[in-house]
Amino acid sequence: MTKIWRETGFVENDPWVIETEENQATGEQKLLLSLDALIEKADASNDVGLGVLIKPGDDVRRLEPYLYRLEIVAVEFPAFNDGRAFSHASLLRDRLAYKNELRAVGDVLIDQIPLMLRVGVDSFAVTNETALRRLSEGRLPGIAVHYQPTARPADEGPAYSWRRRTVAS
């Protein structure tokens, strides 16, 4: 069972669905389209409020002309050891200045959620039982020290830890 989580808690009645043969959109549900399907739909209409699912091999820069029409971008984490969605999220937030909802889908594990938050992901489609239990208990692991800048600054505020100064001895 998939539940949508944000830092404010679990979300009820989320309308977004990834359509598959087993899972068809019904009623008030909205589809997360593939990148190619989104571009095709956007080029053929003036629709806004669209959603897209970015797969690991997709070129997220192709979204740039359509970002103002998107309500949500979902980035897929197919396995815990595939970090391409981290790069997609970082590109969307930092270089393309995407401001709307950015969701992690796929293999969303509790240990990676703080890292996903740092690159700008703000909602999570969680299926992992351990992650669901820990999130419902409010047990999100923290990362106290950061060595690089990201879309979301450290709790202490922005810092310049990537600047190094050599002290003469």
- pLDDT digits 0-9 by tens, 31-64: 899 999 999 999 999 999 999 999 999 999 999 9
Dihedral angle, C-alpha 30, 4, 78, 47, nearest 10 °: 20
- Cα separation of 105 and 73, whole Å? 10
Predicted TM-score (pTM) of the model is 0.84
Residue 147 makes CB contacts below 8 A (sequence gap 6+) with: 161, 162
Neighbour count for residue 75 (Cβ, 10 Å): 28
Q: Which pLDDT score, from 0 to 100, does residue 70 have?
A: 97
- Cα separation of 82 and 56, whole Å? 8
Phi then psi for 103, rounded to 5 degrees? -115, 140
More confident position, 147 or 60: 60
Please write the tens of the pLDDT for every residue from 104-127: 999 999 999 998 998 999 999 999
Q: Which fold has domain 3-136?
A: TIM Barrel (3.20.20)
Question: Which residue blocks in 32-123 are alpha helix, DSSP H?
Answer: 35-44, 84-90, 113-118
